[in-house]
Amino acid sequence: MNTIDTMFKKLQKIRKKSYAPYSNFHVGACILTGDGSYHVGTNVENAAYPQGVCAEASAISAMVGEGHTTIHEIGIIGEGLCTPCGGCRQKIREFATDGCKIHIFNENGFQKTFTLGELLPESFGPDNLA
């Protein structure tokens, strides 16, 4: 099974576990690291806005918790063409290069691939502090 198919399967499953009682906007994220491992996360809302957690941040936490620090590719599933919010683009940047592929899915499957550089041009990252 290729990366896109594997991600879609994992994204469909994790998105169903989303906790979004206020917005009813369910999102899932799936990170592929360089060693071939996958890490998933989902959005978790909170009645005290904006204290919720985006799916991308949730997946990054799962990845780091397993000892990884590099995002090779990431997939995101939501309604329509659901790209990462600005804050999540910056969170992804912490662990990825401009060439990192960001695959966007919806309930029907794969929609489009962007690079992080396309979604966050001229970004500020760890190398700016070196």
Tokens of 44: 């978790």
* Residue 66 is among the residues annotated as catalytic for this protein: no
> In sequence order, which residues have a C-beta less than 8 Å from that of residue 47 and are 6 or more positions away?
22
Tokens of 88: 């999540």
> In sequence order, which residues have a C-beta less than 8 Å from that of residue 50 and are 6 or more positions away?
none
Return the amino acid letter for 67: G
Please identify which of the residues 56, 73, 107, 122 carries the catalytic annotation.
56
CA atoms within 13 A on the CB side of 41: 22
> In sequence order, which residues have a C-beta less than 8 Å from that of residue 38 and are 6 or more positions away?
6, 7, 10, 30, 31, 32
Point out the residues that are catalytic: 56
